[in-house]
Amino acid sequence: MRELGNTQYFRVDVEPETDVQMVLAQVYEALSEKGYNPVNQIVGYIMSGDPTYITSHNGARGLIMRVERDELVEEMLRSYIRSNGWK
């Protein structure tokens, strides 16, 4: 029988943060390889939340689902702002 008076410790492996830029790049590439229009498909996913807009080719669907949709929009807006020299 275990002693209940002692504190038990356990470790939980923390999943590394997903790099949103990397996710978008890999999903874009997978959609292009399969012949889809990546912009339309990613927009469809962001607007609806339906993961079937994203191909499962090269694990793209599972990858994009690891990132919140608002994080995808934030990253795309940041990139757009940087590319236009607004910041």
pLDDT at 70: 95
Residue ranges covered by each domain of the chain: 20-83
* Cβ–Cβ under 8 Å, residues 42 and 31: yes
Q: How far apart are the C-alpha atoms of 54 and 2, rounded to whole Å? A: 49
The mean pLDDT values, 10 residues at a time, for the chain of 87 residues are 69 70 97 98 97 97 96 94 90
0.85 exceeded by pTM: no
